[in-house]
Structure 1
Amino acid sequence: MVMVPACFSESYAEARPKFCEAAAAAGGVLGSWFNPNGRGPGGERLFLDTARFGPMDAEKMLVLIAGTHGVEGHCGSGAEIAWLRDGGPAKLPADTGALLIHALNPHGFAWTRRVTEDNVDLNRNFVDHDKAYPANDGYRALADAILPAAWDEASRTETERVFQAFTQKHGAFGLQGAISGGQYSHPDGIFFGGRKPTWSNRTVRAIARQDLSRARHVAVIDFHTGLGPFGHGELICAVPPGARSFDRARAWYGDEMTSPEGGTSTSAIVVGIMTDAFSQELPDAEVTPIAIEYGTYSVPEVLNAVRADNWLHQRGDLGSALGRALKADMKERFFPAGDKWREMVWARAEQTIGWAVKGLAAG
């Protein structure tokens, strides 16, 4: 029986060798992709690592992704390692392979940030950068309150006043959508989608072409944290309800699946999500993507941690007492301490992976 808490790591520097060792022990073919754009807080080099299992020409592939939002990599890494240590690869059907992507955003994982080295939210970066970016007038109206000049009681009070006024006019979900739906106007802000494809964007597309080009049925599970009840893993399908992949996901996951566009998810509707890359790069495959979103703390607490972390990197001092406190809070909001939450993560991950493999088997 796998010792679940031991599968999770307190840092990227701990998680990477743990993942590689577990993948090698399970018989995986490992690949490493070096991110040349900086190092971790301990001077460590940063890598996106992959592990592939099963026949190289497998028509059915399970894809598990950790660290799209860097700090959320603690969760995804732990789930991947638990699956490996629990003998997951050996339990796959003979015609089914698996690809594990570890630390898709290694910079964010290492630095306890959601964003990349470009301050880009990867789940807003997969838009067509040759076209006009989606407008977000709500974010423009809130930008100064989201990133204040100082991080003190006065600025927090003013931000709360602005947010409350916006909520009175547009509703609580309207506020969440304006802030977190994605924006392309403020590079120093939060949920910024970028002005070009990031290193992680380009790399995951290359990985999809390299490792999944022979597949005809691909199940993608992307691990996230921050929204919803503590420890609950919401299965979010972010494709439009009219898409074929939406119907497949509904058939696989049933009423457990939620939809932002259908109004049943804790997530706002977002644009440019990372899992779009798989259907774009694998036009001959049936791609069925979902995200598992594990709840941690309340939306205001999580959002405040994201804003504080952004302020710290834009205008604060990482080495100060305030900087250390904000970093500790950021980690806790996306990776709660204690064994119970981690055990809940694995229980839901194991269940969901089982559904995905069953769905792939059904063809």
Structure 2
Amino acid sequence: MQDDLLLNDSAVRTCFSADYAEARAKFIAAAQGAGAHLEHRVLEGIAGALGETLATDVALLGTADAESLVVLSSGVHGAEGFCGSGCQVALLRDPALLGLARERGVALLLIHAVNPYGFSHLRRTNEDNIDLNRNFIDFAQPTRNPAYAELHELMLPAQWPPTEDNARSIAGYVARHGETAFREAVTTGQSEFPDGLFYSGIAPSWSNRTLRAILRAHAAQRRRIAWIDVHTGLGRCGHGEKIHAGLPGTPDNLRATRAIWGADVVAAWEGDSASRQVVGHAVSAVFAECPRAESVGIALEYGTRKATAMEALRAEHWLHRHPGAASAEQRAGIKQDLRDAFYVDDDEWRGMIAGQCRTALLQGVLALGR
């Protein structure tokens, strides 16, 4: 029984993985065991950190003509894939929940490692340093962020750890503009610094094109879609904040989302989320690619033990910009810090993650099912 899985630390632990290659193998094996239809969208010409093939893998359970579809995606921000992959494997090993979806006529679409490069190489960004949750935009109107230009060199200094002068300069900016303005300047997204933080890109990335193709193939014909996109790095440790993933400023869609997942769904565009509102998040692709469907979505954002991932992101970006400047020891430490910012290697945390994700999936199936 799935209740036993959620209570058994060792069983939950086996759903999660130590690296992308292991996560991909577990996902494929679990999908095959569940009788899912599998597809492999390979990122050609780029190898993983261990030399492995990189791919976004897709598992579909249910019929192609089912009117309702629940989507569970992982790894939009590569290094956050450890968490989402574990949740997907747990679902595929959950005969009770899979059976309920089948009885209710709800198809399930699992999209594993939307950003396989970042997952494998322990980067939040993709092979082009693009933040995929800033890349789903109208590229005729790039993301202009003049405030970031003032901070770019401060956030990514020539040496790491930063000097005391660097810390004072950033503190001075915060004192002049406020913490909120500082966070918005850094994290909203920007199109002018390809090696910078939260880069939106100037064209659709491979992952953008791939995700849209997956939606066209498996979701465009549906009438109702509920999408759960798993993220980590913000909020209280182990708590999954449910963040509205509809288009900003759409109160009707927010009400429909809360009707499925509860009144505690928060909207970054209303200012009550741990996350800042961003432009161009991946889930927004459903509105363009599946215009016939009534679509709702949440980003399920799990907190880790790090109060903020910003310093880990800055260090890893410095390493990316200056690959020859770090010793092997420093490089390993920076990568480990980034992993720790987005994943907690602890059975209690994994159990909290799996339980909350199962509840969200159950809510989606019950709401959309006949």
Same structural fold, with TM-score higher than 0.5 when normalized by the shorter chain: yes
Which of 267, 270, 274 is equivalent to 1:266? 274
Asked whether the equivalents of residues 245 and 289 of structure 1 are also in contact (C-alpha less than 8 Å), the reply is: no
Please give the alpha-carbon distance, in whole angstroms, between the structure 1 residues aligned to 2:232 and 2:67.
30
- Given the alignment of the two structures, is residue 306 of structure 1 paired with residue 313 of structure 2, yes or no? yes
Query: Which letter does structure 1 place at the counterpart of 2:296?
Result: T
Which of 284, 288, 293 is equivalent to 2:292? 284
Give the Å deviation of 1:116: 0.5
Equivalent residue, structure 2, for 1:95 = 105
Question: What are the residue-to-residue correspondences of 1:1-363 with 2, within 5 Å?
Answer: 1-2=4-5, 3-87=11-95, 88-92=97-101, 93-129=103-139, 131-154=140-163, 157-238=164-245, 239-300=247-308, 302-317=309-324, 320-361=328-369
Query: Which letter does structure 1 place at the counterpart of 2:134?
Result: R
Query: Which letter does structure 2 place at the counterpart of 1:96?
Result: V
Give the Å deviation of 1:244: 3.1
Asked whether the equivalents of residues 104 and 365 of structure 2 are also in contact (C-alpha less than 8 Å), the reply is: no
Quick check: 303-312 or 92-101, which moved more? 92-101
Query: Which letter does structure 1 place at the counterpart of 2:28?
Result: C
Query: Which letter does structure 2 place at the counterpart of 1:134?
Result: T
Query: Which letter does structure 2 place at the counterpart of 1:211?
Result: H
Please give the alpha-carbon distance, in whole angstroms, between the structure 1 residues aligned to 2:338 and 2:257.
32
Q: Which runs of 5+ in 2 are unaligned?
A: 6-10
SS in 1 for 2:196: coil
Give the Å deviation of 1:91: 2.0
Please give the alpha-carbon distance, in whole angstroms, between the structure 1 residues aligned to 2:280 and 2:219.
21
Root-mean-square deviation (CA, aligned residues, Å) is 1.4
Asked whether the equivalents of residues 104 and 369 of structure 2 are also in contact (C-alpha less than 8 Å), the reply is: no
Task: Kindly provide the CA deviation profile for residues 225-275 of structure 1, in whole angstroms up to 9, marking residues without a partner as x.
Answer: 000000100000043243432221021222220111111100011001000
Query: Which letter does structure 1 place at the counterpart of 2:61?
Result: F
Give the Å deviation of 1:138: 1.9
Please give the alpha-carbon distance, in whole angstroms, between the structure 2 residues aligned to 1:162 and 1:353.
45
SS in 1 for 2:235: strand
Query: Which letter does structure 1 place at the counterpart of 2:25?
Result: P
Give the Å deviation of 1:349: 0.4
Give the Å deviation of 1:299: 4.5
1:125/1:45 Cα in 2 relative to 1: closer, same or farther (>3 Å)? same
- TM-score, normalisation: structure 2: 0.93
SS in 2 for 1:15: helix
Asked whether the equivalents of residues 54 and 94 of structure 1 are also in contact (C-alpha less than 8 Å), the reply is: no
Please give the alpha-carbon distance, in whole angstroms, between the structure 2 residues aligned to 1:76 and 1:261.
24
- TM-score, normalisation: structure 1: 0.95
Query: Which letter does structure 1 place at the counterpart of 2:176?
Result: K
1:143/1:358 Cα in 2 relative to 1: closer, same or farther (>3 Å)? same
Asked whether the equivalents of residues 239 and 302 of structure 2 are also in contact (C-alpha less than 8 Å), the reply is: yes
Please give the alpha-carbon distance, in whole angstroms, between the structure 2 residues aligned to 1:161 and 1:321.
27
Query: Which letter does structure 1 place at the counterpart of 2:279?
Result: V
Asked whether the equivalents of residues 143 and 200 of structure 2 are also in contact (C-alpha less than 8 Å), the reply is: no
Query: Which letter does structure 2 place at the counterpart of 1:12?
Result: Y
SS in 2 for 1:275: helix
Asked whether the equivalents of residues 27 and 53 of structure 1 are also in contact (C-alpha less than 8 Å), the reply is: yes
Task: Kindly provide the CA deviation profile for residues 330-360 of structure 1, in whole angstroms up to 9, marking residues without a partner as x.
Answer: 1111111211111111111011111222221
Aligned positions, number: 358
Asked whether the equivalents of residues 35 and 47 of structure 1 are also in contact (C-alpha less than 8 Å), the reply is: yes
Equivalent residue, structure 1, for 2:8 = none
Task: Kindly provide the CA deviation profile for residues 186-226 of structure 1, in whole angstroms up to 9, marking residues without a partner as x.
Answer: 10011100011000000000000001122110000000000
Quick check: 311-320 or 290-299, which moved more? 311-320
Please give the alpha-carbon distance, in whole angstroms, between the structure 1 residues aligned to 2:60 and 2:143.
36
